[in-house]
Amino acid sequence: MKSIVFLIVAVLSAPIAFAGSPPVNLLVTPRIAMAIVAKDERKLNDLDKAYLDAFTILRDDNPCSRLYGGTGAIEALNELMRVLRPAYLDRHIAVRMSGQTTMYKNATSGFTFRMFEKAELNMMGSFYRGNSPTERRVPLVADFQPNTRRTRVALLLHELGHLVRGADKKWVLLDDGHDLELSVKNTVLVVDACRDQIESVTRMTVAQQLEEPLTTIAQLATMP
Ligand SMILES: [Zn+2]
């Protein structure tokens, strides 16, 4: 999306010094994972559940988590969840990220990611709105119907692709804020890499996803 790559130094926890390199910053705690685990599963909303699906995929070693550089990407997902706000936008937009970006670096693992100043989740787009059988107005997400669990996790994984780098050190997805065609291609790229994980995670119940003890989940979220 619109990316004025602009490095701000935001120190969130114990700063670390990098000799000879520009100051980068720090660690994000796995606060969302813990918030979710602490929540009664009956109170989880669609966004919480989509987060949990993405989290469940990323905490394992699989082709999808490898696209994002491994479990370290959970921190970027957590930061996305922290910034994400509801918005009312054109139905062709599902999520929009804009503004300055901040770079984060995990002091332990060295995993880096960026986050945009603003991330908007469209209440009128494919995350929440489906189509009636006779009228197709909300676009499909890859080949997934809008307003489904598979679409919601695919959308979060798409946004995550703008925040983290792949094995080639480039952002997993090219900026597509002004290019609907590229945005669609980006979603296809994500779904091609992640289809098996999306299919299997969306067959799990919340209870199955939360079976791992809290401490394990919390540790995984900060693990290199
Ligand atoms: Zn995009």
Domain that holds residue 149: 4-14+21-212
pTM beyond 0.75: the answer is yes
The arrangement of strands across the sheet holding 84-87 comes to 4-8, 95-105, 112-122, 84-87
Q: Is there a domain that residue 219 lies in?
A: no
| Residue-level pLDDT at 219 | 52
Are the C-beta atoms of 112 and 192 separated by less than 8 Å? Answer: no
**What is the structure's pLDDT at 159?**
97
Q: Within a domain: residue 189?
A: yes
Q: What is the pLDDT of residue 33?
A: 54
Q: Ligand 1: distance of its center to the CA of 1 in Å?
A: 6
In a domain, 84, yes or no: yes
Coil, helix or strand at residue 120: strand
Q: Write out pLDDT tens, residues 162-199.
A: 999 987 889 999 999 888 899 999 999 999 999 999 99
Q: How far is the CA of 158 from the centre of ligand 1 (A)?
A: 6
Please give the backbone phi and psi of residue 151, each rounded to the nearest 5 degrees, phi first. Answer: -60, -45
Q: pLDDT-derived band of residue 11, with 50, 70 and 90 as boundaries?
A: very low
For residue 196, report the distance from its CA to the centre of ligand 1, in Å: 21
CA 154–ligand 1 middle distance (angstroms): 11
Give the distance (Å) from ligand 1 centre to CA of residue 93: 10
Task: Compute the distance from residue 141 Cα to the ligand 1 centre, in Å.
Answer: 12
User: Looking at the predicted structure, is the pLDDT value of residue 16 above 70?
Assistant: no
The answer to whether 26 and 13 are in contact (CB under 8 A) is yes
Least confident range of 98-107, 118-127, 208-217? 208-217
**How close is the Cα of 148 to the center of ligand 1, in Å?**
19
Asked if residue 174 is part of any domain, the answer here is yes
- Please report which confidence band the pLDDT of residue 216 belongs to, taking 50, 70 and 90 as the band edges: low
Helices 149-161 and 73-83 pack at an angle, to 10 degrees, of 110
CA of 186 to the centre of ligand 1 (A): 6
Asked whether residue 9 is domain-assigned, the answer is yes
Residue 144 lies in a domain: yes
Q: Domain for residue 93, yes or no?
A: yes
Amino acid at 27: L
**Mind listing the pLDDT tens digit for each residue in 103-118?**
998 888 888 999 999 9
φ, ψ of residue 162 to 5 degrees: the values are -90, -10
> Is residue 217 domain-resident?
no
pLDDT of residue 113: 94
Q: What gap in Å lies between CA 126 and CA 131, rounded to an integer?
A: 9
Residue 171, helix vs strand vs coil: strand
Distance 183 CA to ligand 1 centre (A): 5
Contacts of residue 163, defined as CB under 8 A and 6 or more positions apart, other chains included, come to 73, 76, 79, 80, 113, 114, 115, 171
Dist. CA 57 → ligand 1 center (Å):
20
Q: What is the pLDDT of residue 211?
A: 73
Nearest in space to 58 (alpha carbons), one of 44, 68, 49:
68
pLDDT of residue 4: 29
Residues 196, 65 contacting (CB under 8 angstroms): no
State the DSSP H helix or E strand holding residue 84, giving kind and residue range, or none if neither: strand 84-87
The number of domains in the chain is 1
Find the 175 Cα to ligand 1 centroid distance in Å.
6
CA of 212 to the centre of ligand 1 (A): 31
Residues whose CB is less than 8 angstroms from the CB of residue 71 and which lie 6 or more positions away in sequence, other chains included: 58, 59, 61, 65, 220, 221, 223, 224
| Tens of pLDDT, residues 120-159 | 999 999 999 998 777 778 888 889 999 999 999 999 999 9
**How many angstroms does the Cα of residue 20 sit away from the middle of ligand 1?**
33
- Report how far ligand 1's centroid is from the alpha carbon of 91 (Å): 15
